[in-house]
């Protein structure tokens, strides 16, 4: 498979499906960038690689599949995932997806270091929307030496996003003591001091206030350890629907791609 004229390596690392794009100079030592896609377009590892290829970086860019998506959909497929989300989005989707993805990352990282030629340089992590929760949790857990992170359409606080979903889908979420504890855990504005690396935060000016306001609050809490970039006119998604397959890069994705590339380039050099 090729994405934007780039050869793609596809496989499974410690049980995690991935696609990887090679560094600018495949014969030279390289950094490693690992990230997680959205549940909205781009909603798969292939789609995320096409949307944000970050071509030109001397780094392997690895796009990891989220649990409960793609090849790891629950039995019953997308319909079962929608049912689980409708029953309890926090406890049935956001919590298990984030915890499982963050927990499986160290083993996947070790497998990727072994498998991808020259990928022994500095590490960066990134993610979008649901994938940003994973990136932020990985940064907070500090299980790996991470040089820099970047998130787009970020879920910096889970509770407001649940409120956004209530408005969008005209539902009422049944908060419980346990789900409130999960939302409190995934409040990275409050946990900003736990984030272990410099962070780029990219938000669309047309995204929901439940995303934009926490993104700005996280940037303020992190101070000079973070940078906030606003993409004018961009909403939450930045790929064409349904966003499951590799597709031509949209104008919004190109601007996110440029911001990510400019951020990671100097921070992943040896």
pLDDT per position as a tens digit, 25-62: 999 999 999 999 999 999 999 999 999 999 999 999 99
Task: Kindly indicate the confidence band of residue 228, based on its pLDDT and cuts at 50, 70 and 90.
Answer: very high
Q: At what angle do helices 209-222 and 158-169 cross, to 10 degrees?
A: 170
The pLDDT value given to residue 26 = 92
Local structure of 7: helix, strand or coil? strand
The pLDDT value given to residue 196 = 87
The pLDDT value given to residue 7 = 80
- The answer as to CATH 3.40.50.1820 being correct for domain 2-267 is yes
Q: Which of 108-132 are b and which e, b meaning 16 or more Cβ less than 10 Å from the residue's Cβ?
A: bbebbbeebebbebbbbbbbbbbbb
The pLDDT value given to residue 52 = 98
β-strand 2-3 against 6-7: which pairing, if any? antiparallel
Q: Where are the beta strands (DSSP E) in 1-140?
A: 2-3, 6-7, 9-13, 16-21, 31-36, 59-64, 123-128
The pLDDT value given to residue 146 = 98
- pLDDT averaged over every residue in the chain: 96
CA torsion sign for 25, 27, 33, 34 is positive
CB 41 within 8 A of CB 240: yes
Whole-angstrom CA distances from 222 to 199, 210, 217, 227, 241 are 8, 19, 9, 9, 33
CB 154 within 8 A of CB 203: yes
Q: At what angle do helices 177-185 and 158-169 cross, to 10 degrees?
A: 120
The domain segmentation of the chain, as residue ranges, is: 2-267
What token pair was written down for 203? 């938000």
CB 189 within 8 A of CB 156: yes
Please state whether 54 falls in left (phi above 0), alpha (psi between -120 and 50) or beta. Answer: left
Class of residue 64 by CB neighbours under 10 A (exposed 0-12, middle 13-18, buried 19+) = buried
Q: Is the pLDDT of residue 1 over 70?
A: no
Question: What mean pLDDT comes out for the span 76-88?
Answer: 92
The neighbour count for residue 86, using CB atoms within 10 Å, is 12
Which pLDDT tens digit goes with each residue over 153-211?
Answer: 999 999 999 999 999 889 999 999 999 999 999 999 999 999 989 999 999 999 999 99
CB 41 within 8 A of CB 125: no
Residues 6+ apart with CB under 8 A from 260: 52, 54, 126, 150, 152, 200, 202
The pLDDT value given to residue 2 = 54
Which pLDDT tens digit goes with each residue over 133-149?
Answer: 999 999 999 999 999 99
What token pair was written down for 238? 């930045």
What token pair was written down for 110? 């070790």
The pLDDT value given to residue 3 = 63
The pLDDT value given to residue 71 = 87
What token pair was written down for 142? 């500090």
């Amino acid at each position: 498979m090729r994405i934007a004229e780039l050869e793609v390596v596809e496989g499974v690392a410690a049980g995690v499906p991935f696609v990887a794009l090679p560094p600018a100079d495949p014969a030279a030592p390289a950094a490693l960038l690992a990230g997680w896609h959205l549940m909205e377009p781009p909603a798969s590892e292939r789609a995320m690689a096409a949307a944000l290829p970050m071509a030109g970086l001397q780094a392997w860019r690895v796009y990891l599949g989220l649990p409960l998506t793609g090849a790891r959909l629950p039995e019953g497929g997308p319909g079962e995932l929608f049912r689980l989300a409708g029953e309890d989005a926090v406890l049935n989707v956001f919590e298990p997806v984030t915890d499982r993805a963050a927990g499986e990352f160290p083993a996947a990282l070790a497998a990727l270091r072994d498998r991808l030629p020259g990928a022994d340089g500095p590490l960066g992590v990134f993610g979008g929307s649901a994938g940003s929760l994973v990136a932020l949790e990985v940064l907070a857990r500090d299980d790996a030496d991470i040089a820099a992170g970047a998130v787009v359409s970020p879920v910096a606080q889970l509770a407001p996003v649940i409120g956004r979903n209530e408005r969008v889908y005209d539902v009422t979420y049944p908060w419980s003591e346990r789900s409130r504890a999960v939302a409190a855990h995934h409040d990275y504005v409050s946990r900003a001091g736990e984030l272990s690396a410099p962070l780029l935060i990219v938000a669309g000016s047309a995204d929901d206030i439940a995303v934009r306001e926490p993104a700005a609050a996280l940037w303020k809490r992190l101070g000079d350890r973070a940078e906030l970039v606003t993409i004018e006119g961009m909403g939450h998604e930045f790929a064409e629907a349904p966003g499951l397959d590799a597709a031509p890069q949209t104008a919004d994705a190109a601007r996110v791609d440029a911001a990510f590339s400019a951020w990671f380039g100097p921070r992943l050099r040896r």
